[in-house]
Structure 1
Amino acid sequence: MTIQTRTIEYTHGGITFEGLLVWDDAFDAPRPAVAVAHAWAGRSSFEDDKARALAGLGYVGFAMDVYGKGRRGATREENAALMTPLMQDRPMLQARLGAALQALAAQPEVDRQRLAAIGFCFGGLSVLDMARCGLPLRGVVSFHGLFLPPGNTAGRRIAAKVLALHGWDDPMVKPEAVLAFAQEMTEAGADWQLHAYGGTMHAFTNPEANDPSFGTVYNACADARSWSAMRGFLGEVLS
């Protein structure tokens, strides 16, 4: 078993994006693939490492990029400046996510009939939008994602299965937003699950998160539990 990687460039709207593909070369036939949507700072070692971990589980992992090649934030202000335009233009975000998924599906290592996506924070919102707008995914997993609906998918049915992994004490996603999300998923006819972790704030999977005043705190127990839940979910939807 050897984990292999390569960067993949793809374009949309005249912008070049760069993702990281990761796979185990012990498999000869195309494998089910899982796209990884990044948090608000842009594609980083965090998402790349998640793609590597997915490859270790036997999937093809792909750390996506929706900001553009080399565009990363280093401060809250820079991160917000990158994320906000896409939060305000969700069709643009969805189109970029679609371009990334199309690039993934085109790779020879990938079984394009068995695709899923996971995402963290802003990436959690992103994968929910991938399901909302009907991209060809079997399932999506949102880790401490934002639940704000996009405004352009009301009335559409959601075919992808949905797993939302949420910190109950997340100040960015209040209980009323959780209930609204549940209602949205139900009205869309989705096969959905919600796991809420008590005593857990936003960004609970990120070991570098340690800012209670901002609401971002790592929680090792919730991190392990959520990854285990994801493994079971992917085993179901990509079998």
Structure 2
Amino acid sequence: MTTVSLRRSIGDLTFDHVLVSPQDPGGDGHDAPTVLVFHGMEGRSDAQLAIAQRLTQWGHRAIAVDLFGETVSAGGSQRCADEMTAFLADRGRLAGRLSAVLTALTDAPEVDRDAMAAIGFCFGGLCVLDLARAGHPLRAVVSFHGLLTAPDRPGDGAIPARIAVHHGWDDPFAPPEDVVALGRELTARGADWQLHAYGGAMHAFMAPFADQPERGIQYHPVVADRAWRALGDFLGEVFAPRS
């Protein structure tokens, strides 16, 4: 695989996205689908980059998206946590950031804007759902142990992206009432959606470093493997050649 920086500026902020591409001995690879990988509270991280690298095994390009910007990331974990909290308190501002970042990335010549999906973890799971709610041109979005609540103005038109949600049933940050509300919301907007709820799984079940069960945060290797295999099947369906 190859890894290159896709550094982009939005206003006076700089964002260091990282593009990971599979080896392509038969051509230039520009026809490969692109999967955007959205980070959680920690900002753009090595764990997120590892997910992007795994996606290349399925023949996809992947971009580890920097949603907070280099200045925030350089400020450490507390600065990143504060940035996430500010975005959660102002979903309109978050929508603006998501739209600006997506526009900057789709302008990259390496990206096929007609074959794009987005996946996200924790806060990133919320972000990809908000991208779908806003009607951005994505084939699909996949949320892993994401926050599920709708923004104040989620929209009311049809949602074009296919949606898959992977949820730990014992996740205290997304209680059952949020799950039911999401299902009703997506159904009302005519979305093609699916939900995978995993018994015995807490928040951050995909993250090997998660180990705070007293807070409802814990890695679950069996569930993580199930969710990853389900992602592969879903992306294979989404990016299947159109007849």
The residue type equivalent to 1:190 in the other structure is A
Contact 1:116 1:137 in 2 (8 A): yes
Using the alignment, how far apart are the partners of 2:23 and 2:11 within structure 1?
33
Matches of 2:112 and 2:79, distance apart in 1: 36
How many residues align? The count is 236
Q: Greater CA deviation, 55-64 or 97-106?
A: 97-106
- The corresponding residue for 1:34 is 35
Aligned to 1:85: 86
Cα distance per residue 1:92-124 (max 9 Å; x no partner): 222222233223323333222100000000000
Which ranges of structure 1 fall in alignment gaps of 5 or more residues?
A: none
| Structure 1 residue 74, shift from structure 2 partner | 4.7
Alignment of 1:66-105 (within 5 A): 66-72=67-73, 74-75=76-77, 77-105=78-106
- Counterpart CA distance in 1 for 2:41 and 2:97 is 15
Offset at residue 157 of structure 1 (A):
1.9
Given the two structures, how large is their TM-score scaled by the length of structure 2? 0.92
- Partner of residue 229, structure 1: 230
Gaps of at least 5 residues in structure 2 are none
Aligned twin of 1:143 = 144
Taking the TM superposition and a 5 Å limit, the aligned residue runs for 1:2-151 are: 3-26=1-24, 27-30=27-30, 31-72=32-73, 74-75=76-77, 77-151=78-152
Aligned residue for 1:146, secondary structure, equals: coil
**Aligned match of 1:161:** 162
Question: For 1:32-77, what per-residue CA distance to the aligned partner results, in whole angstroms no more than 9, with x for missing partners?
Answer: 10000000110100111111111221111001111111523754x4
- Write the distance in 1 (CA, Å) between the matches of 2:101 and 2:155: 23
Structure 2 distance, partners of 1:47, 1:100, is 17
Contact 2:68 2:80 in 1 (8 A): no
When residues 194 and 97 of structure 1 are mapped into structure 2, their CA distance, relative to the original with a 3 A threshold, is: same
Decide whether the 8 Å contact of 2:72 with 2:80 is kept in 1.
no
Give distance in 2, aligned partners of 1:189 and 1:129. 15
Contact 1:116–1:238 (CA<8 Å) still a contact in 2? Answer: no
Report SS of the residue matched to 1:135: coil
Question: 1:108-150: per-residue Cα shift (whole Å, max 9, x none)?
Answer: 3322210000000000000000101111100000000000111
CA–CA separation in structure 2 for the residues paired with 1:54 and 1:106: 21
Residues 1:171 and 1:118: Cα distance change in structure 2 (over 3 Å):
same
